[in-house]
Structure 1
């Protein structure tokens, strides 16, 4: 399957999307529209954000608004569940948003869309955690090290009984970058000051980092393909990157010469704790917190997409260098840098 919108003809189809106002979700909604879908329904809590001006139907509510979930899913062909909480200070908050919210959605679909063709469930590489010391694939054990990863593992567990009634496909993206991304963006802001923190030696492949356009192509293929029903897939980058490659591609796109600052892995936990403490003083919750530090230090950060490539025709072809060019260009054009 080609990695472009022409490969997905969704004319006459209806899709209900959760998380459409966010980074990945907004790109997914745009791809639906490019693919001919004229009935795109998006669950929106307050602001449309990146969806402003797009030809969509806004369904006001959240994953705990039963009427909104039933309204949005009523009679649809597909559902794409992209909404997720990635940062929180307690397990209860993670569990509510990522586990209980997913159950509420599936119960609504079961009632309001009994003939749905497929439900796309978005999980994460974070479910693997310590499950492997190398590159994760679908056979890797799950041993998450963060509350976020644990909540996604719990989510994958609680949806199992729904497979009897609903066709579903689960995808696990690794780290994602691209226009509109706001967490990895903090790394680019640091580079733009002329400094680059590097974990460990920085020389070995250490990270799967997928461009949002590639990820959305894989999500679309997972949603429309009957081959993926009942299965789970990693949707990663064309290859795994070293921190030195990420530094060089980012610095080149920024047009900056940067000073590399090596950071021993054992210091990451202290930096995360310090960032979180500062966040409490400023009433914010930083992207690099104790939970994220645990993932960086202990969790698997690379995945193998061979199964999705073989079974779904997934074709991640945006390499790091051109991907960084388009990403940095967007940040500058939109006043982020």
Structure 2
């Protein structure tokens, strides 16, 4: 009998890849999206769509009870719903914590708790790493997020961990890239134009995870049946912005790219101005004070030893391979 799996936030960049892999593994796959959400990358006829009212717990309970009455209780739920940029800082809490809490409370009240509830968190929930000796960020470290985004994700994590017996699995990926992603696309467009902008003069190590490898971790967690666990996720290596630039330039066939290093105070000023303009236009900006705090962080190395030993995870995509596949997709689809 097929196992039932819900992907909450299926319409996003990562969500589409989760749905694809779930279908490949023959799950009865449900995509939780709003009616207004684009289905551009959700075209498989086997996908079942559902619009759940995450902002209203009582309504969620009613929806879940109706599904239960019809014989449907999801075996697995992957919570991929969240916001990485908001017009108002308070919205991070409302979306990344409040909606998750409503849904989890409704699952408990309706008696429809799944075997596993896999939450997409972020390395940003742990805050800045050691910027003196550059030791990896470890699960044992005391989390101290600097961004509103990271704080909201940590708050959601703490809520899950506070529920006795709740079968959570928390995933904390570093920077996720791949086809269809739009933030790294902006950086690649700049490199294509012949420039590479980096921030700050102190040494910086950045880390990445290709979207397909991230999805691989999710299904390894399902196969292993782990619960009440949390994992950092990266491809296991640390890179500099120079290495990233070289991989992108090679994939683009770009021979000359001029590196431009910007002082932190300049980036901070631009971020503040961008945030102010977004408050006028009513549209969340990609560059804002929250994003600035992420860019100024010097150490994004994280310890993935538990992900390797407990889940058996080994990445299929080191950065050069992942960048090449991503750039190729962008070119083929007219994005780059």
Q: Do both proteins adopt the same fold according to a TM-score greater than 0.5, normalized to the shorter chain?
A: yes
Alignment of 1:126-205 (within 5 A): 126-130=124-128, 132-133=130-131, 134=134, 135-162=136-163, 164-200=164-200
Q: CA RMSD in A?
A: 2.2
Moved more, 42-51 or 71-80: 71-80
1:27 to 1, 6, 17: 17
SS at match of 1:268: helix
| 1:251-272 CA distance string (max 9 Å, x none) | 1111222111112334321232
Q: Which residue of structure 1 lines up, in the alignment, with residue 46 of structure 2?
A: 55
1:230 to 224, 228, 231: 228
- The Cα shift of 1:58 comes to 0.6
**Contact in 1 for aligned 2:82/2:95 (Cα 8 Å):** yes
Assess, with a 3 A threshold, how the Cα gap between structure 1 residues 245 and 131 changes in structure 2: closer, same or farther: closer
**Contact in 1 for aligned 2:87/2:279 (Cα 8 Å):** no
**Contact in 2 for aligned 1:69/1:105 (Cα 8 Å):** no
Assess, with a 3 A threshold, how the Cα gap between structure 1 residues 123 and 309 changes in structure 2: closer, same or farther: same
SS at match of 1:276: helix
| 1:119 pairs with 2:130 | no
- The Cα shift of 1:30 comes to 0.5
Q: Which residue of structure 2 lines up, in the alignment, with residue 6 of structure 1?
A: none
- The Cα shift of 1:326 comes to 0.8
Aligned counterparts of 1:19 and 1:100: Cα–Cα separation in 2: 15
- The Cα shift of 1:72 comes to 6.7
| 1:249 pairs with 2:268 | no
Q: Which residue of structure 2 lines up, in the alignment, with residue 5 of structure 1?
A: none
Aligned counterparts of 1:301 and 1:265: Cα–Cα separation in 2: 17
Which structure 2 segments of 5+ residues have no match? none
Alignment of 1:1-337 (within 5 A): 12-37=2-27, 39-45=28-34, 46-47=36-37, 48-65=39-56, 66=60, 67-68=62-63, 74-112=72-110, 114=112, 116-130=114-128, 132-133=130-131, 134=134, 135-162=136-163, 164-200=164-200, 206-226=205-225, 228-256=226-254, 257-280=256-279, 283-298=282-297, 300-337=299-336
Which structure 1 segments of 5+ residues have no match? 1-10
**Contact in 1 for aligned 2:196/2:259 (Cα 8 Å):** yes
TM-score normalized by structure 1?
A: 0.89
